[in-house]
A and B are shown apart, each in its own frame.
Chain A
Amino acid sequence: MHEMSIALSIVEAVDAKARQEGARKVSGIELLVGKLAGIEAESLKFCFSAAAKGTLAEDAILVIEEPEGTGECGECGTRFPVNFYYAECPGCRSLRITIVSGEEFLIQSMTIEEEGE
């Protein structure tokens, strides 16, 4: 279950940054997980709570945005939705497709709670 080791790297990155920022806790995390990134969002959420136990991100709410895959044809330049299974240009039927979005896998931001002054 690779989502577990991935959840651990997210927690580690977020926890480190939150400490740097002097946070008391992390209440939210926004992830960008492209549909083609090879990550199962549901399974990631499931692993996250276990991975975050005992860290600043323990109670954080995970929000996952999942951009659709987009391909660009190397022959005619057409852009169209892809999911790998049909990576064929609808314009000219070429298979020379480059993925231009959908492979993102980023921690975009987090919301931290801090002591007010």
Chain B
Amino acid sequence: MCDTCGCSTEGGAVLRKPGQSDYHVHVNEGDHDHAHAHEEQQSHDHGHHHEGTSRKVVLEQDVLQKNNLLAERNRGYFEARKIFALNFLSSPGSGKTSLLEKIIPALQPRFPVAVIEGDQQTTNDAERIQALGVPVIQINTGSGCHLDALMVNRAVKELELQDNSLLCIENVGNLVCPALFDLGEALKVVIISVTEGDDKPLKYPTMFHEADICILNKIDLLPYVEFDARKCRENAMQVNHHLEWFELSAKTGEGLAALQEWVERKLLQH
């Protein structure tokens, strides 16, 4: 049961806004029509007894079809309004929110920015973003370990997005399943930090294979850790030779200008 409103939704995602403790919206499927109740309704009213028969039904249906269709709808909406959506992905703590805190103030003078924050619990990250003065909404996935297209679809309805703007979506910290769930973003940005292993791209190849941009963060710590940035880049390229590669520190701001320039160029082309 939901603590806030006492409704019976279990484990579903909830939208929240920082500083507004009375605001929360459940992400449910409005058209939830797989009625379990129907099971008994198929009344067995013909009075003769007989053997059941079995039959093969071909589906050839993508397992993620439902998510993919909704993601395409999100994508169409973003394209129509010239909203450039980026999906930020990383292990917990690689610096997704820190990077947003650094790059948004740099981009904001030229482009409107809005943010969707995904975490299992808390509005901490949304509060950090709200301090920058940009529209933000928090999705709490509860037990869920990734954002999906439905959550983003609902979150977008709660955000007042402007045309020709940048939408940053910070996914739940997890390098595994967010790779499988298209949200409708234009590009996927995967972040890895130098306190992780330089073989991470090989250990989580699906994520690096799906990404368009890879950012190596926390390079200010390179002198203190055993991390081979060149090796890491090689590993990442081996998994995905189309990757755009950036190295930066969200703490000191080193290397940020190149990323900023690149995002601005994309925003103009978009």
Contact = CB atoms under 8 A, between A and B. Distances in A.
Interface stretch (B175-183, B186-194, B213-221): B175-183
A85 to B, nearest CB: 6
B225 to A, nearest CB: 24
A106 B52 contact: no
A1 B64 CA distance: 16
B268 interface: no
Contacts of B62: 105-107
Given A9-B64, A84-B239, A38 B53 contact: no
B54 A107 contact: no
Given A2-B177, A111-B54, A9 B59 contact: no
Interface residues on A, range: 35 or more
Nearest to B205: A84
A116 B51 contact: yes
Given A85-B205, A96-B241, A106-B63, A38 B179 contact: yes
A85 B239 CA distance: 7
Q: Which of B42, B57, B58, B146 has the most CB of A within 10 A?
A: B57
Contacts of A15: 34
Interface in B218-246: 237-239, 241
Interface in B39-92: 39, 42, 44, 50-67
Given A10-B63, A105-B64, A1 B237 contact: no
Nearest to A115: B52
Consensus secondary structure, chain B interface: mixed
B206 interface: yes
Nearest to B174: A2
B38 interface: yes
B266 interface: no
A96 B205 CA distance: 16
B102 to A, nearest CB: 30
Contacts of A36: 206, 209
Contact of B206 (A9, A38, A107): A38
A16 B59 contact: no
Nearest to A55: B36
A31 B60 contact: no
B103 interface: no
A52 interface: no
A17 B238 CA distance: 40
Contacts of A13: 59, 61, 63, 65-66
Interface string A80-117: 00001101100000011100000001111111111111
B47 to A, nearest CB: 13
A1 to B, nearest CB: 7
A30 B97 CA distance: 41
A115 B50 contact: yes
Interface string A44-88: 000000000011100000000000000000000000000011011
15 contacts: A6-B180, A9-B63, A9-B67, A13-B61, A13-B63, A13-B66, A21-B55, A56-B39, A105-B63, A106-B63, A107-B59, A109-B56, A109-B60, A111-B54, A112-B56
Interface of A: 1-2, 5-6, 9-10, 12-19, 21-22, 24, 27, 31, 36-39, 54-56, 84-85, 87-88, 95-97, 105-117
Given A36-B209, A107-B62, A111-B54, 18 more contacts: A9-B64, A14-B59, A16-B34, A24-B52, A36-B206, A38-B176, A38-B180, A84-B202, A85-B238, A95-B238, A97-B241, A105-B63, A107-B60, A109-B58, A111-B57, A113-B53, A116-B51, A117-B50
